[in-house]
Structure formats: structure tokens, C-alpha cells
Amino acid sequence: MARIVVLDGYALNPGDLSWGEFEALGRLTVHDRSTPVDVLVRAAEADVAMTNKVAFDRRTIDALPRLKYIGVFATGYNVVDLAAAAQRGIVVTNVPAYSTASVAQMVFSHLLNLAQPVAHHAEAVRLGRWTACEDFCFWEKPLIELDGLTMGIVGFGQIGRATARIARAMGMNVLVHDVFPPANPGDGIESVDLDTLFGQSDVVSLHCPLNEQTEKLVDAKRLAQMKPTAFLINTGRGQLVDERALADALNADRIAGAGIDVLADEPPPADSPLLAAKNCHVTPHIAWATRAARARLMTIAAENVRAFLAGNPRNVVDR
């Protein structure tokens, strides 16, 4: 019977899901969180190790001679040294496409919050400012209609495409940029270069992978290309954005606002520049975390392990 250890299961399952699909596959041990030192002890006898953010570097992999499989509870798998795993013959898998709808939904949660600040005005009413108003209505921040505006989407994979569909449904024009330009992006969607996208978009939403080419893609130069009325949305990877440059642009009114679900350091230090930046709304990396998305992640991850144990691994990323 396979010995399976989950090293940081709390984010995936804080108590509202079942580990039953994994319990059916072998002898399961679940830990809410693990330090690097914990991993060497907790995974010492494991055949299968499941991780979300706990890192498996070369040193850790070399210290676990029994290990045969590392499953990542995420689409991104940069927490695993793939070369070291491959040299050991360890199979590494990820979970693609489980959160597409949820992340696209979060893009528009942020965008609608910036365009028509419902929470701000509801709080103003609660505090009595409407009661004290001489007029039948009032607003304290600009109210922006999205119909007819342009959304620029950097990265046109599954989440980028889902975001584009919602934008089109709201009457927005869409510009997209991808390293593999789509032949037929769709009605009202145009494939363009990055300069055009940043220069012409009223909203820029980031959905590209993090790599050497995209790290700090949104830097001072790119931000200077944006309209002063434009918004930036990042539900991709924190490292796609130069956070100091973005904070400076927001504080100087060089762009109008930002909705950020991911930061370079998570959780962020108290002096993270975006936490106090003007009209910057930071959520704590929750775009992926609807119950529906986490349930899909759990099921797909368990199916990955089942396929590996049956000798037909799937969603392998280190081969």
C-alpha cells in the first residue's frame, strides 16, 4: 500500500472538503503546514508527497530516497526542482485548469470594484453620509461604465480566454497578446503586440506564466505606456509586476487604480509598497480558492495519483 503524505493541506482543505479520495489510494497522513525541516521527517517514508507551496529543492529530494512521486496542488510547479526530480526518476504532476472560472470571476470582482465601488458607497451609507445628503443620490468616487472600453489581456490561455469571454459579454473590446498568437481569437478580440496593448487598453489583465521573459514585465516603462485612466489587474503571479514601480505610478496618478490578488512575497511584509498605494486593492491570493475550484483541484490531484499508481501517470511536468 502506497504511503501518501500531504505536507500543507490547509489552504486546499481548511475543513470544508473531504480527503476521502486520497484515503482510498493508500495510507494517508495529512499535515496542515510543514517547514523545510518538517519535510525531511514527514516525507521520509512516503512514496507519494503532495505539496502546495512547500518547496522540494535538490537537497530535499536527495534526502528522500524512498520518494517516487511529487504531486503539486496547483497549476504552477516552480516549487519543485524538476531537474533533480527527473534525475531521481521521481514523477512530478500538477493540476491544470481547475480554477479557470473562479480566477476569471475574480478579475471582474476587482474590475467592478474599481469601476463602480459598491463596497465603498455601501459603507458611506452605513456611516450616515447618504442620510446627511441634500440630494436623492451621491457618489464619492467616479462611476465608470465598462461597455465600449478596451480590455488588454496578456496571456491567452484558458483563463485569458475565459476573461475575454466575460469582457465581450459586458460590451468591452478586447486586445490580447500571447507568445503563440491565436489565429482566430474571436469576435471583437484582436491579437496585438505589447506596446499596442498597454497603450490602448483601459484595463490590462495579466494571465501569462512567470518565466525569465515575463518577470517584472509590468515595470516603470510599461506603466508609463498606460493611460492615466487605466486599471491594472493581476491574478497571475506577483513577480509579473515591479511592485515599487506600480506603487509609484499609482501614488503619482499615472494610472488610475489596480486590483491585485498576488504579490511577490506571500504573505507580504508590512512595508510592501502596494499595501499603502493609492487606489490599490489587494486581496490575499484567493482567486483560486472558491469551494468549487478547490473541490475540482482535490479530485484531479487524486486522479493524478491514482493514474501514477496504476502505471499511467498523467499531467506530468518533469518529462
Q: Which residues pair with 53 in a beta bridge?
A: none
| Axis-axis angle for helices 158-169, 100-115 (nearest 10) | 40
Q: Which one is catalytic: 123, 140, 145, 266?
A: 266
Q: Which one is catalytic: 237, 281, 294, 296?
A: 237
Kindly state the cell numbers that stand for 162: 475565459
Buried/exposed code over 31-55 (b: 16+ C-beta within 10 A; e: otherwise)? beebeeeebeebbeebbbbbbbebe
76 with 103: CB under 8 angstroms?
Answer: no
Could you confirm whether 31 is annotated as catalytic? no
203 with 194: CB under 8 angstroms?
Answer: no
Q: Which one is catalytic: 3, 285, 303, 306?
A: 285
Buried/exposed code over 143-164 (b: 16+ C-beta within 10 A; e: otherwise)? ebebeebbbbbbbbbbbbbbbb
Q: How far apart are the first and last CA of the chain?
A: 25
SS3 for 292?
Answer: helix
List of E strands, the chain? 3-6, 27-30, 48-51, 69-72, 91-93, 150-154, 173-177, 189-191, 203-206, 231-234, 257-260, 280-282
Q: What is the DSSP letter of 69?
A: E
Grid cell 489565429 in the structure block, residue: 183
| Axis-axis angle for helices 100-115, 291-309 (nearest 10) | 160
Kindly state the cell numbers that stand for 259: 486590483
CA distance to 123, 137, 293, 301, per residue, from 134 (Å): 18, 8, 46, 57
Could you confirm whether 266 is annotated as catalytic? yes
Catalytic positions, written as ranges: 237, 266, 285
